[in-house]
Structure 1
Amino acid sequence: MSVLSPRIKPSGPVANSLTSGQLPRFVELYVLLGAAIVTGLVMLLVGFSLVGWLCLTAVIYLVALAILSSVVENRRKATDRVIRGLVTVAFLLALIPLVSTLATVIVQGAGEISWSFITSVGAATFDPNTLTVTQTPGALQAIVGTLIITGIASLISIPIGLFTSIYLVEYAQPKQWLARTVTFLVDVMTGIPSIVAGLFAFSLFSIIVGPKAFSGFSASVALSVLMIPTVVRACEEMLRLVPGDLREASLALGVSKFSTIVKVVLPTAIAGLITGIMLAVARIIGETAPIFLAASFTDNFNANPFDGPMQTLPVLAYTGYAFPGKDIAASNASAWGAALLLVLLVVILNLIARVIARIFAPKGMR
């Protein structure tokens, strides 16, 4: 009869197999701070440069993280940490121009934004007694023109783009010649330069109306040429994400194809559709070249899109620098104010679109 020998317990501390061979939780942050400090000291010796400091910090961070992870952990984990570090660095580099642009626009335009600037029409008045020209800053005509031109372009583009995407996803066969032709034309239109769209609208209305046929409607037509392919592509991708089981279940219950699209497909994809449409609106609302060619610009208030030039916020920002008045500083300030108003307008439109998408989305997706 054998006697079982008692298990001998290790005398030293027991290592946890789940946490052994792992770096601390916030090691990436520690390595990044160390790389930034070391790079800063080096840059102080050779001459400081912000771009050089950021690039050298990223390189030292990735190299140090790879070496540290290879020593403590293993090669697989080291590769994973380096790839995640590259993704993080790429994300931070992508944020730099965005944050820099927003910061510049806010700093330069915040001092110009006021209630009088928003509700006043910019004009230059001449005083015959003192022989001086006083420039009154104002963006009311530009705000109204932007809303009118963008609204008309949206009314033209959204139905055409949405119906085209529904045709391509729900009705067209993959190898049908019409579907391939529409897809090819949409791809070609996506790459059209904005100034070409402006020249097209100006030439078209010059033939119909006559020379110098500047109008807000002409600018809307130019913007619709740019907006339609974006709406088609965005809505097409969102409709393709709707599961086919929902369509099959609806058709199996005897619901018609049209009712399935209206009551099942579109409500399911409503959030993505609105997001894609807002991306298209944001793409055209800041266009300058086509509006400058098709609608020109004016300091007078004009709310009639079918008669005479119209002013918009991007054109106001451009002309404030390209064609300043006698008071150059005031013109430049108005340009920065118009740029900030344009950013705020895009933010407000996106918030409204989010609210609408949340309201009309299916209950399970809210």
Structure 2
Amino acid sequence: MRSFHALIIVSCLLFLVAGAGAEPTVAPGYTLETFNTPGAAFAGVSRDGGGLLVSDLESGRLYRRGTDGKLVAFGPVFPHGLDVIGDPTGPYRVVRVGDVLVVAQGWTPVNSDEGPLDHALVAIDAAGQARVISSDFWNPFDFIVAGGTYYVIDSARNSVERVQADGRKSTLMAFRRMGEAAAALRSLSPTEFAEGNSYEVDAVPTGIALRDGRLYIALFGGFPFLAGAGKIVSIPAAGDASKPQLDVKGLNAPVGIAFDNYGEMLVLEHGTYNQKEGFRKGSGRLLKLNKLTPDRKIILDGLTRPVSVLVWDERRLVVSDLGGNLHLLTRESAR
């Protein structure tokens, strides 16, 4: 806990507070400190003892933030650049697994030749050497590890993959396309989408979390990324996963999911989409869902293109975004 306080205090001196435009806002009872690294595009965040692991899509580097608050790069430079729709691709996630760090590396950038680390789950040893666990993915966006088994989200294949430590892989769940009513699509293009018809979009799974033997998966929803079309579904980590359970609906492009120390679900929404602007500035938010009621509470609002949420401890959360921001959210008092 002390290391987290030191990280915040020193970071105030070392990093610029995110500048132009409206600042994110927090719910009553929380405080927020936002730190910006110019030119970065932060994606995955995870805890490594008292330090914070961060992946940067802009540089293809992994960073560790220790108790002195400094970002220190380590490991290889991963492939990075823009994907086929113009979004950054590179090392999406980095997580400590025993004596190695495991990275989910995205698909090949459009202007690059395919390399051995592309679209792969990669282990980095203490010497910084990379070993590919499996590259049999299209776009591995997120993963968790439980009991020595990796559960990997392949966003491009719309699937959850189960991967053993030796690289053996099987598909746990492949999501069907999701139907959308033409009425919602007509707001985007009244002439293209006729009344009375329905349309299907890819499910696009993104975030994943494990709770009480079930895997919870955020379904972002494919283009045109309709407001309210996102969902959270769950499947058993072991056993029959053929029928996912719908847990939450009506979300705006959910990209990250976690559970706090009290068992309440946290959902990070990437935001709402406009065909002219893309994902709107300030439309991302972090929701807390009551586990006993359908109540949803916005605890962090006004985010622009957030990617990951990390539960640091019973009071603290970390949220990353593609603008190079780390948002450190603290509840003022424990329950």
Which TM bucket (shorter chain)?
Answer: under 0.3
- Greater RCO, CA 8 A, separation 6+: 1
Q: TM-score, normalised by structure 1?
A: 0.19
| Structure number, greater radius of gyration | 1
Higher strand share: 2
Higher helix share: 1
